[in-house]
Amino acid sequence: MIESAIDTVRINFNTETLWILNVVLALIMFGVSLEITPADFKQLYQKPKPVLVGILSQFLLLPLLTFILVILIEPIPSMALGMFMVAACPGGNISNFISSLAKGNTALSVTLTANATLMAILMTPFNLSFWGSLYVPTNTILKEIAISPIEMVEVVALILGIPLLAGMWINHKYPDLARGLSRFFKGLSLLFFVALIIVVILNNWDILTKYIWYVFWIVFLHNLIAFLSGFSLAKLLKLSGPDIRSITVETGIQNSGLGLVLIFTFFDGLGGMAVLAAFWGVWHLISGLLLSSCWAYKPIRKEEVC
């Protein structure tokens, strides 16, 4: 059966390519952090509600809904674990750009990126371990591989934490330099990331095309739930229109690149996990741009801004 065959797949992703992906992700984070200041963390205390809603949406609601979705659709174990991995990751670094296109609250988006990135050092390993262990088939995989949470924390800290702190330090000490570097690094690192994804897709074209129709509907549904969960929670708690848009984007655009790094580092590119994360990496860019394009042409009513 096609479902069981996916588990035997190993994505063509050698050590050198993994090392490059690590560097590219760190550079993307560094580019984003050049626009982050300590004031973005202070927002959590000055205007806590939208920040807390965004964090809860990313680190609690999305993993919970992912767990429910896994129980309902019963994907193969490795793919279910891939869904838990994606849901455990923080918002993607391109979320600030998409939030801006969607006419959301860009300042809130940056604040959420800063706080979620810092929290992800602990929350990503925790959520993967917690939700993965609650579902028996994925718990079996976790026990077989015997991941050290400490090692995963170290990897996430190296990829996200250090670049975040380095970029913030440069922005604090040399703001003019940070502005110039930000434009350079964001554009160049994003170009490298897209190019790397294209190379991975081309190198694994036969694998991806073989399983696309089985994987795509799961990714489509999972990503749709991610967007809807952020939107619904923010709407339910009566946030402003721009805040709702930013939280929707932050929840629906996940850092699947980080997920891929962790999958290849700790799970040896396990078939269903890697294929699902790779499809997420492509699809959430398309869905995010489609959503932001629709919102870009839909003005926010005056009463929604307050």
Task: Please list the pLDDT of the chain residue by residue as tens digits (306 residues).
Answer: 555 566 655 565 556 666 777 777 787 778 778 877 777 777 667 778 999 999 999 999 999 999 999 999 999 888 999 999 999 998 877 787 788 788 888 778 888 888 888 888 889 999 999 999 999 999 988 887 766 777 788 888 888 888 888 888 988 888 888 888 877 776 676 676 667 667 666 766 776 677 777 888 999 999 999 999 999 999 999 998 889 999 999 999 988 878 888 888 888 767 788 888 888 887 888 898 899 889 988 776 654 554
pLDDT tens by residue, 186-222: 667 667 666 766 766 676 677 667 777 788 899 999 9
Say what angle helices 48-56 and 241-252 make with each other, to 10 degrees.
30
Q: Which helix (H) or strand (E) holds 204?
A: none
Sequence-distant (≥ 6) Cβ neighbours of residue 29 within 8 angstroms: 93, 117, 159, 160, 163, 164, 167
Backbone phi, psi, residue 163, to 5°: -60, -35
91 forms beta bridges with 254
Phi-psi bin for 146: left (phi > 0), alpha (psi -120 to 50), beta?
Answer: left
Q: What are the DSSP calls for 66-106, one per residue?
A: HHHHHHHH---HHHHHHHHHHHHS-B-TTHHHHHHHTT--H
Q: Report how far residue 228's alpha carbon sits from residue 233's, in angstroms, rounded to the nearest whole number.
A: 8
Sequence-distant (≥ 6) Cβ neighbours of residue 232 within 8 angstroms: none
User: In the chain, where are the structural domains located?
Assistant: 2-305
Residue type, 66: T
CATH number of 2-305: 1.20.1530.20
Put simply, whether the predicted model's pTM sits higher than 0.75 gets the answer yes
Look at residue 9 in the predicted model and tell me its pLDDT: 59
pLDDT tens by residue, 279-301: 888 788 889 889 988 998 877 66
Q: Report how far residue 81's alpha carbon sits from residue 131's, in angstroms, rounded to the nearest whole number.
A: 9
